[in-house]
Amino acid sequence: MTALKGSGTGALLIHGLGGTQFDLGPMHKALRRAGVETHAVTLPGHAGTPEDLVPVRAEQWLDTVTQAYDQLAGQYETFHIMGMCLGGLLALALAERRQHRSTPWYRALRHLVYHIPTLPARMRVEEDEPFGIKNDLVRAIVKAKFERGDNFHYRWVPLACIRQVDRLRGWVLDGAHRIACPTLVVNAREDELTSLRSANFLEAAIPDVRKVVVENSYHMICVDNDREQVVSNVLDFLGFDPAQARRPARARVEVPMSEEAVATVVNEYLQALTSGQFEALFPLLEPGVRWRHQGEHPLAGSYDDRDAVIGMFAKLEALAGKTIRIAVTAPPRIEGATAQIDVAASSVMNGEDFHSQGTQTLRMRNGRISAVTFRPADSADNALPATEPLPAPAD
């Protein structure tokens, strides 16, 4: 770079194909806590609809990040580049194009190979479970966002744009040996979109490279189980103390919930329960929620944390599929941070109809549900799992 350098440290973060800055999870906040000014870029064809990607060419993506780089890099004494998925490819291509010499981080090269001579715009590459995410809660949240139509990530991308990813990938393969700056490559061992061959290639091709393999994530490592490890690896690579970026621990103090706050949680819970979008209720639960379903239903029993509750609902959907129907039969009775809800439920399991009625009791604290208990109205009629709250667990 011949431009005069400014002061401080900046970073350009580049999202993935069909995505947004959500792809990079807590990376923006972690870098800012470490004193890095972060900048985002929206790639052509994004922030609209998947069809917008059809006419976009790889040159447009690369020109966009190059323009952002040229505008920003001279403002800082040190400037970093990092990206996820398609953003990782662009970060590598940008570093080679501009012979970037500051210390960036690059997300692992994503191997999306669909070598088809003609890629018609009408063909789609669907985004489906597990959505590149191994963590049950995060995957459930993503699934709920897709179901609601939240504009945080395209549900599918046209096959036509995959050809542009392949072209970009070819440029990176050809130019990796000319990348002049230290490079960090982070790849999940269980990544369902690419094998470790891509990371191994970069490790062999780039002159100054460090490779990290994370063991408990799928494709979306910045939001999956290993997200904290990824953040720590990045900060360490950039010369920062990872402890600088950790979120300050919150005091374990129970804060009384207002009547309005309790009603809001109850309403969101009921909306998720009665619509069948169970994924939307999981974020309402404390990690240590205690869920009890009384009776003799196949799913009756005790579930002592949020992961166990997610597993219970997964089993319920496996048994009953889309036949589950849950209705509220009377207005919720709310007293303080406790709510009682009369429900009626039906489903079909193994060809047999099940019906049940009972009362769910929710106990809340600090804005979340800490306990749920279901008591059937008739102990001989226990068809669908629901819940009952026990004393809130200790922090």
DSSP output for 133-148: ---HHHHHHHHHHHHH
Summarize pLDDT for 131-170 with one digit per residue, the tens: 556 666 666 666 666 555 555 566 667 777 778 888 888 8
**Full domain range(s) for residue 114:** 9-245
- 45-59, 206-220, 359-373: which is most confident: 359-373
- Check residue 301 and give its pLDDT: 87
Determine, yes or no, domain membership for 168: yes
Say yes or no: 164 and 266 in one domain.
no
pLDDT over 80 at 286, yes or no:
yes
Q: Are 93 and 72 in contact (CB under 8 A)?
A: no
The mean of the pLDDT values for the chain is 78
- Check residue 384 and give its pLDDT: 41
- Check residue 106 and give its pLDDT: 33
Say yes or no: 241 and 309 in one domain.
no
Say yes or no: 265 and 199 in one domain.
no
- Check residue 5 and give its pLDDT: 56
Say yes or no: 360 and 213 in one domain.
no
Distance CA 50, CA 54 (A): 8
Distance CA 337, CA 366 (A): 10
CATH number at 309 reads 3.10.450.50
- Check residue 3 and give its pLDDT: 34
Summarize pLDDT for 179-188 with one digit per residue, the tens: 988 899 988 8
Which H or E run contains 320?
helix 306-320
Query: pLDDT category, 291, cuts 50, 70, 90?
Result: very high
Boundary of a domain, candidates 245, 267, 302? 245
- Check residue 136 and give its pLDDT: 63
Determine, yes or no, domain membership for 395: no
Boundary of a domain, candidates 245, 273, 293? 245
CATH number at 123 reads 3.40.50.1820
3-state helix, strand, coil in the chain (%, to 5): 35, 25, 40
Determine, yes or no, domain membership for 394: no
pLDDT over 80 at 392, yes or no:
no
- Check residue 383 and give its pLDDT: 41
Out of 38-42, 103-107, 295-299, which region has the weakest mean confidence (pLDDT)?
103-107
Summarize pLDDT for 188-218 with one digit per residue, the tens: 888 767 778 888 888 899 999 999 998 888 7
In terms of C-beta density within 10 A (0-12 exposed, 13-18 middle, 19 or more buried), how is residue 117 classed?
A: exposed
pLDDT over 60 at 394, yes or no:
no
Say yes or no: 182 and 112 in one domain.
yes
**Cis peptide bond upstream of 130, omega within 30:** yes
Determine, yes or no, domain membership for 299: yes
Query: pLDDT category, 388, cuts 50, 70, 90?
Result: very low
Say yes or no: 296 and 215 in one domain.
no
- Check residue 22 and give its pLDDT: 76
Domain count, the chain: 2
Query: pLDDT category, 264, cuts 50, 70, 90?
Result: very high
Say yes or no: 213 and 354 in one domain.
no
Determine, yes or no, domain membership for 2: no
Say yes or no: 52 and 29 in one domain.
yes
- Check residue 359 and give its pLDDT: 93
Determine, yes or no, domain membership for 147: yes
Say yes or no: 161 and 15 in one domain.
yes
Determine, yes or no, domain membership for 1: no
Which has the closest alpha carbon to 287: 304, 267, 302?
304
Q: Cα–Cα–Cα angle for 86, 90, 92, nearest 5°?
A: 120
Which percentage of the chain shows pLDDT scores above 70?
A: 76
- Check residue 224 and give its pLDDT: 75
Say yes or no: 231 and 345 in one domain.
no
Which has the closest alpha carbon to 215: 240, 241, 242, 196?
196
Region 340-344: what's the mean pLDDT? 93
- Check residue 254 and give its pLDDT: 67
Find all residues with CB under 8 Å of 192, minimum gap 6, and list them. Answer: 130, 132, 218, 219
Determine, yes or no, domain membership for 124: yes
Say yes or no: 222 and 77 in one domain.
yes
Say yes or no: 159 and 84 in one domain.
yes
Query: pLDDT category, 107, cuts 50, 70, 90?
Result: very low
- Check residue 191 and give its pLDDT: 78
- Check residue 262 and give its pLDDT: 93
Residue 182 carries which side chain, given as an amino acid letter?
A: P
- Residue 34 structure tokens: 């470490």
Boundary of a domain, candidates 212, 245, 278? 245
- Check residue 279 and give its pLDDT: 79
Distance CA 270, CA 175 (A): 54
